Amino acid sequence: MTRSILRLFVASLARRRLASALSLLAIALGVALGLAVQLIHDAALDEFGRGMRTLAGEADLQVRGGRAGFDEGVYLALARRPEVAEASPVVEIEARLPGRATTLRLYGIDVFRLATVQPALMPRATANDARFAALAPDAVFLSTAAQQTVLDSPLQPVLTVQSGVHETALRVAGMVPGAGVGQSLAVMDIAAAQETFGMLGRLSRIDIQLAPGVDRAQARASLGAFLPAGITIAPPDAPVSETTALTRAYRVNLSMLAAIALLTGGFLVFSTQWLAVVRRRREFALLRALGMARRTLMRGLLAEGGVTGLAGGIAGVALGHLLALMAFVLIGGDLGAGYFASTRPTLQFSPWLIAGYLALGVIAGLAGAWLPAREAASMAPASGLRAGAADTAVHALGRSRLRRAVACIALAAVACLPPPIAGIPVGGYVAVAFALAAAVLALPSATALAMHVASGGRGVIWRLAHARLAAAPGQSIVAGAGVVASVALASAMAIMVSSFRVSVDDWLVSVLPADLYLRASSAGASGFLDADALARIRANAGVDFVEPVRAVDLRLIEGRPPVTLLARSVSRGWGLPLVSGSLHENASALPGVWISEAVADLLHLAPGDAMTIPFDGQAVQFSVGGVWRDYARQNGAVVVDLDTYRRLSGDDRINDVAIRLVRGASADTVAAALRDLFGAQTVEIALPGEIRAVSLKIFDRTFVVTYLMEAVAIVIGLFGIATTFAALTMARRGEFGMLRHIGLGRRDIGMLIAVEGALCAAVGVGVGLIAGGSIAWVLIEVVNRQSFHWSMDIHVPFSGLLLFSLGLVGLAALVARLAGYRAMRQRAVLAVREDW
Amino acid sequence: MGRDTRGILAAALLWLALWQTPAAFGGAGVGVMSYPPVIAGRALSFPRDHGAHPGYRTEWWYVTGWLRDEAGRERGFQLTFFRVRPPLDVTGSSRFSPQQLILAHAALADPANGRLFHAERAERVLPPLVAADAGNTDVKLHDWRLAWSAPAGAPGHYRAHVQAGTFAFDLELTPDGEPLLNGDAGFSRKASAPEHASYYYSRPQLKAEGQLRLQDAQHVVSGKAWLDHEWSSEIMPPDASGWDWIGINLDDGGALMAFRMRNLDGAQIWAGGTLRMPDGRVRILAPDALHFSVRRSWRSPRSGATYPVEMELEIAAEGAQPARRVRIAPMMDDQELDSRRSTGAIYWEGAVRVFEAGASAREIGRGYLEMTGYADPLKM
């Protein structure tokens, strides 16, 4: 039985090698992409979580502030609370390393407190006179991973770090053996860290072990009650769930791409199986007449799909692991999105995960084979044995499904309405699926409509092709379904990416209005400029006006990573791409704050609302002046006026300086002068054009995978046309023979097939474009908005889409013509006689 | 149990970080710090000198004594606070600056247990959590504390408070008179070279009263205790490997302190002592007036070190004072203390009884015996 299934059914896969290979490839791609995304993310999150656990050690609760830290008095007060058995203060620094692109995460720790709370961070001295090395003010201890990344050689005795615009040489005194291989970090004495990095009097974190018998939730509430504003107390695994919340949408987005590939694979299985079934109709009728059970036939055909799916799954699992491995080597496991800096994850094999993705491949194959198998099994053997049976089967598909299509459209519209579930735009994805289904279901009606509109004779070939499609819209379903799906997805992606890119470009122009930018380091890191440095910049020849920006992070939203607070001037024309509100301080007595769309979405704020922001332990009321678009900080950002910020925080440091030049001054000359002033390794100086070019390059790189998916989808769509026409021309040999008899030339027949292919594709492309447009709208307005909280202006790349459509129709004609070639080689007489 | 294992792990780790190599405090390579020298002729002034002397390298307040509970059971207790100024070039505008460290040991000798209950801590000075007051005795390491308090009109007392996992005590220690200055008016030499010396006074015959918790049992206790306060910069002569020390409250109201420095061969290279008579007269004992001899040894199954747990001490005659011989015998043999987590040393610190040597063998006092440098040469 099993062997006969293998011989009769699965072996047929080998006879249509190209078709099988492409179906397999599509399924493999889907499985591989999905698995790779999950592997990479799981490994990165795992390592990130391990890092957090290492750092948190035996802590029951963690007190955290933003990067700027909080007053160390909080520690002195907490350590004396009866709920607290042990408390360990930590100063956390993202140390800028002069001349290096990477920063080093450095923990200033109290070695005496570490022992009970975070033993994994315990430094270990290597030198011989090292009795007090862990307390020495210039000693730094590196984890193995940090040694490998920040030292040029393992014996390098000195590590230079940057604080402000000054460099400090630290002695590499030993290791952090407990940190594990994946954690890139450094440890030094807490006092030394405070002094070296200008954190005197400040702490970043306190890890707490509770006294025996103290309930964690109760302690969290009782300790939290007396903490100053802006400081949170949470279990040590909170950063993991915060990061998970942040990356979830990104990961789901990538997985959706994988799902699309899988769906396309399923489609492909469907179209090849359908045609195989049509072609082998007589064979099946004979088998049935010879006594094969309906169930056996069905099972055999399903096995064909299942085997394709399984093979694709196996290839996909292998490819997925390979992709993940390559990603770790090339981009370091954060999926190119920067969520997991300073962890070095390793690939892990999970049998359950592998089994799951294999199952997905098989399911895609089985699902694709289901309808054709059912169709073949339900056929009455007698009718199947008759000539022209193939055509009948195709006709059956052409029934109008307009009502279902309309229902799908309505469901898609409804699905756009609900808010995201756990940060994931589930409704948006459902809407995309319904829109796709609606497009495929509408295809017969669309074909009929198109043929009705395009009626009117223009030559025999045209009329023949037209008549054929008008009479048998089922053909367009089989040939065009793939085209519709691929065109819809490709054009939706194209519109979304184009809208995104144009919006990002406009945004870059509006946020970079100055002539020159100087940066000490990114928001979190240890480089900064002080008033003296600012004065030195201002004193440069050619500098007309400088605008300092201070960036710090801030705990504002429960359960999310800190948001960025940007302190700068707001109303002096320094560029803030508002989507609502205004740049002017409003009439209320409260100082203004301008919030990014992410903050507005997550905190449900609109211009005019009041908002509380913690400053140095004090909760300060602000009034929301406007909402602005921010593509740079997915965790959210708020802008307050620099003077207000300084008054409230007492912090007069600067991260970035925007510089306007006097008329006629050369940006290059001024940049060179500034570089000389601070040292080329200490500050980064960039022209807005450079920043823009780099940003767009990164943008394009991020979307490469999307373009790749589009290309695959198009190939698959074209392939659908090729297989359909190959099979249909075989089935229509008699018809073509007849046409030859009544005087059509071989070239005319070829032309006929090409026109039919083009018409089929044109209808598919038309429907696909309409569906793609609506899917793009869903992606932009629902999926992106809910996933990443950023809006964009819709920008349809009309010329690109037109060119793409024409190209696709032309290619379809060519492919159909090539596929039908075999049918036209036959001698007309034989072809006609075969039917009798 | 979990916390205990963690504590042991933590201890091992801290030891690795801080005390990894046996190089001396003042060993080659770290002598960047200059400490004030200990010189003869500096008069001690109280209460100022009861407080901390942060300039000097090492300082300790050492309380030992015997306690009797309501059921008459006797136990020994010990509480030591060390203040260390590490040889680090720290400028110290940070509050966490490790310019001063406080280490503490507490131990309880319970014959029913057969060995010491012991706890230790180490921290950097960080007021108000960890501090050593310079004005009077007040050393604090989180909830461990030794502080002098003198309510108006009262004679004043020390309060010793320790909260460890297996035991805790809270004692009031009331002195019977003025501090007993050791050596030359508080200048106590430790070797023939005069720079190896300390400032050193004792407070014998402290009346102890208070609470003791041992595991889950709470006891009301009273007894006699002894406090040593000593500070120095270069206490150990280079050829010394350790010392033996006793502080004994004599039953007749007198007090006896005696110590000897040993070299690597175990030979006595220096000795000193103070004998307070019942009438308050004080005899300072010169190096050649003291002779220790071993009567019985005990080998620690943990460290492998062999300690002379029973010794005889001969005090030479001087003037009208006849020669005396006393025998020192431990409350129990195993009073070894592993403090590698904080001070890096393994030593024997235990409650002892003192008997008249010879035929009568009458018990004449109780106190503490300390023996260092038997597991490894002691490094200060």
The predicted-structure confidence for A621-630, as pLDDT tens digits, reads as follows: 999 989 998 8
Beta bridge partners of B79: B63, B106
Question: A195 vs B19: CB contact, 8 Å cut-off?
Answer: no
Give the three-class secondary structure for A191: helix
Q: pLDDT tens, A322-378?
A: 888 887 776 655 554 455 555 566 777 788 889 989 998 899 889 888 888 887 887
Whole-model pTM? 0.74
Which of A80, A125, A132 is the closest to B86 by Cβ? Answer: A132
Residue A228: both structure tokens together: 């100053």
Q: How do beta strands A618-628 and A578-581 pair?
A: antiparallel
Q: Identify the sign of the CA torsion A571, A575, A581, A582.
A: positive
pLDDT band at residue A166 under the 50/70/90 scheme? confident
Give A561's DSSP letter.
Answer: P
Separation of alpha carbons A558 and B127, rounded Å: 33
Verify that A111 and A31 share a domain, yes or no: no
Q: Are A49 and A345 in contact (CB under 8 A)?
A: no
Which of B17, B92, B96 is the closest to A123 by Cβ? Answer: B17
pLDDT at position A494 is 87
Minimal-distance CA residue of chain A relative to B10: A115
Question: A111 vs B87: CB contact, 8 Å cut-off?
Answer: no
Task: Determine, yes or no, domain membership for B200.
Answer: yes
Mean pLDDT, all residues of chain A: 82
Q: How far is A548 from chain B (nearest CA, A)?
A: 29
Q: Give phi and psi for A561, each to the nearest 5.
A: -60, 165
pLDDT at position B133 is 95
Parent domain of A350: 9-57+259-376
Which residues in chain A have their CB less than 8 angstroms from residue B19's CB?
131
Q: Are A505 and A693 in contact (CB under 8 A)?
A: no
Interval A136-161 mean pLDDT: 87
Largest CA distance in chain B: 64
Number of separate helices (H) and strands (E) present in chain A: 31, 22
Mark which of A656, A686, A716 sits at the end of a domain: A686
Which residues in chain B have their CB less than 8 angstroms from residue A133's CB?
17
Count of the separate structural domains present in chain B: 1
pLDDT band at residue A393 under the 50/70/90 scheme? low
Best of B18, B142, B380 to disrupt the A interface (most A CBs within 10 Å) is B18
- Dihedral of the alpha carbons of A590, A596, A601, A603, in degrees to the nearest 10: -40
Residues 6+ apart with CB under 8 A from B147: B133, B137, B138, B139, B140, B158, B159
Verify that A286 and A231 share a domain, yes or no: no
Verify that A198 and A104 share a domain, yes or no: yes
Task: Determine, yes or no, domain membership for B17.
Answer: no
With a cut of 70, which residues of chain B have pLDDT below it? 1-33, 341-342, 379-380
Best of A71, A112, A209 to disrupt the B interface (most B CBs within 10 Å) is A112
Verify that A620 and A520 share a domain, yes or no: yes
Q: Are B143 and B153 in contact (CB under 8 A)?
A: no
pLDDT at position A826 is 57
Question: A137 vs B16: CB contact, 8 Å cut-off?
Answer: no
Domain CATH number, residue B245: 2.40.370.10
Separation of alpha carbons A310 and A323, rounded Å: 19
Minimal-distance CA residue of chain A relative to B380: A131
Verify that A216 and A325 share a domain, yes or no: no
pLDDT at position A822 is 60
Q: pLDDT tens, A177-232?
A: 888 777 889 999 999 999 999 899 999 999 998 988 888 889 999 998 888 888 88
Separation of alpha carbons A563 and A578, rounded Å: 18
Minimal-distance CA residue of chain B relative to A82: B143
Least confident of A385-399, A499-513, A586-600: A385-399
Closest CA to B298 of B268, B269, B329: B329
Question: B129 vs A79: CB contact, 8 Å cut-off?
Answer: yes
Task: Determine, yes or no, domain membership for B142.
Answer: yes
Report the half-sphere exposure of B200 (CA within 13 A, side-chain side): 24
Minimal-distance CA residue of chain B relative to A118: B10
Separation of alpha carbons B189 and B182, rounded Å: 10
Count of the separate structural domains present in chain A: 4
Which residues in chain A have their CB less than 8 angstroms from residue B28's CB?
129
Confidence check: pLDDT of A803 > 60: yes
Parent domain of B188: 36-371
Give, for A447, the enclosing helix (H) or strand (E): helix A443-453
Q: How far is B86 from chain A (nearest CA, A)?
A: 7
Which of B11, B19, B27 is the closest to A129 by Cβ? Answer: B27
Q: How many CB atoms are located within 10 Å of the residue B111 CB?
A: 14
Which residues in chain B have their CB less than 8 angstroms from residue A125's CB?
17, 20-21
Q: How far is A111 from chain B (nearest CA, A)?
A: 7
Minimal-distance CA residue of chain B relative to A136: B88
Verify that A175 and A296 share a domain, yes or no: no
Cα A410 from chain centre: 28
User: In degrees, to the nearest 5, what angle opens at C-alpha B20 toward C-alphas B15 and B23?
Assistant: 130
Best of A86, A132, A195 to disrupt the B interface (most B CBs within 10 Å) is A132
Q: Are A416 and A782 in contact (CB under 8 A)?
A: yes
Cα B104 from chain centre: 11
Mark which of A686, A701, A724 sits at the end of a domain: A686
Q: pLDDT tens, A37-49?
A: 778 777 777 777 7
Q: Identify the sign of the CA torsion B182, B183, B184, B188.
A: negative
List Cβ<8 Å contacts ≥24 apart for A555-558. A555/A64, A555/A65, A555/A66, A555/A230, A555/A231, A555/A232, A555/A614, A556/A599, A556/A603, A556/A613, A556/A614, A556/A636, A556/A638, A557/A599, A557/A602, A557/A603, A557/A636, A558/A232
Confidence check: pLDDT of A750 > 90: no
Verify that A490 and A531 share a domain, yes or no: no
pLDDT band at residue A829 under the 50/70/90 scheme? low
Question: A129 vs B16: CB contact, 8 Å cut-off?
Answer: no
The ipTM is: 0.86
Separation of alpha carbons A10 and A15, rounded Å: 10
Q: How do beta strands A186-189 and A103-109 pair?
A: parallel
Quick one: A299 exposed, middle or buried, by C-beta within 10 A (0-12, 13-18, 19+)? middle
Which residues in chain B have their CB less than 8 angstroms from residue A119's CB?
6, 9-10, 13
Residue B237: both structure tokens together: 């002569």
Mark which of A346, A376, A406 sits at the end of a domain: A376
Task: Determine, yes or no, domain membership for B192.
Answer: yes
Task: Determine, yes or no, domain membership for B378.
Answer: no
Closest CA to A632 of A818, A502, A810, A507: A507
Contacting B with CB below 8 Å, chain A residues are 58, 72, 76, 79-80, 89, 110-116, 119, 122-125, 128-137, 178, 189-192, 194-195, 200-201, 212
Q: How many CB atoms are located within 10 Å of the residue B266 CB?
A: 12
Residue B362: both structure tokens together: 């009458």
Residue A618: both structure tokens together: 């004090």
Give the three-class secondary structure for A224: helix
Q: Are B143 and B135 in contact (CB under 8 A)?
A: no
Task: Determine, yes or no, domain membership for B29.
Answer: no
Q: How far is B287 from chain A (nearest CA, A)?
A: 33
Q: How far is B94 from chain A (nearest CA, A)?
A: 5
pLDDT at position B17 is 41
Best of A54, A90, A131, A203 to disrupt the B interface (most B CBs within 10 Å) is A131
User: In degrees, to the nearest 5, what angle opens at C-alpha A654 toward C-alphas A649 and A660?
Assistant: 130
Q: Identify the sign of the CA torsion A25, A27, A31, A37.
A: positive
Which residues in chain B have their CB less than 8 angstroms from residue A71's CB?
none
Verify that A46 and A112 share a domain, yes or no: no
Which residues in chain B have their CB less than 8 angstroms from residue A206's CB?
none
Verify that A98 and A152 share a domain, yes or no: yes
Task: Determine, yes or no, domain membership for B11.
Answer: no
Three-class SS string for chain B? CHHHHHHHHHHHHHHHHHHCCCCCCCCCCCCCCCCCCCCCCCCCCCCHHHCCCCCCCEEEEEEEEEEEECCCCEEEEEEEEEEECCCCCCCCCCCCCCCCEEEEEEEEECCCCCCEEEEEEEEECECCCEEECCCCCEEEECCEEEEEECCCCCCCEEEEEEECCCEEEEEEEECCCCCEECCECCEEECCCCCCCEEEEEEEEEEEEEEEEEECCEEEEEEEEEEEEEEEECCCCCCCEEEEEEEEEEECCCCEEEEEEEEECCCCEEEEEEEEECCCCCEEEECHHHEEEEEEEEEECCCCCCEEEEEEEEEECCECCECCEEEEEEECCCCCEEEECCCCCEEEEEEEEEEEECCCCCCEEEEEEEEECCCCCCCCC
Q: How many CB atoms are located within 10 Å of the residue A2 CB?
A: 9
Separation of alpha carbons B305 and B298, rounded Å: 8
Q: How many CB atoms are located within 10 Å of the residue A448 CB?
A: 19
Interval A583-602 mean pLDDT: 84
Question: A111 vs B123: CB contact, 8 Å cut-off?
Answer: no
Task: Determine, yes or no, domain membership for B291.
Answer: yes
Segments of A474-586 assigned E as strands:
516-519, 543-554, 563-568, 578-581
Q: How far is A168 from chain B (nearest CA, A)?
A: 15
Confidence check: pLDDT of A558 > 50: yes
Task: Determine, yes or no, domain membership for A75.
Answer: yes
Confidence check: pLDDT of A598 > 70: yes
Give A155's DSSP letter.
Answer: T
pLDDT at position A201 is 92
Q: Give phi and psi for B174, each to the nearest 5.
A: -110, 120
Q: pLDDT tens, A297-324?
A: 888 888 888 998 999 999 999 998 988 8
Report the half-sphere exposure of A475 (CA within 13 A, side-chain side): 29
User: In degrees, to the nearest 5, what angle opens at C-alpha A206 toward C-alphas A118 and B14?
Assistant: 30
Separation of alpha carbons A76 and A494, rounded Å: 57
Residue A571: both structure tokens together: 């109303």
Beta bridge partners of A266: none
Minimal-distance CA residue of chain B relative to A194: B94
Verify that A275 and A205 share a domain, yes or no: no
Q: How many CB atoms are located within 10 Å of the residue B223 CB?
A: 23
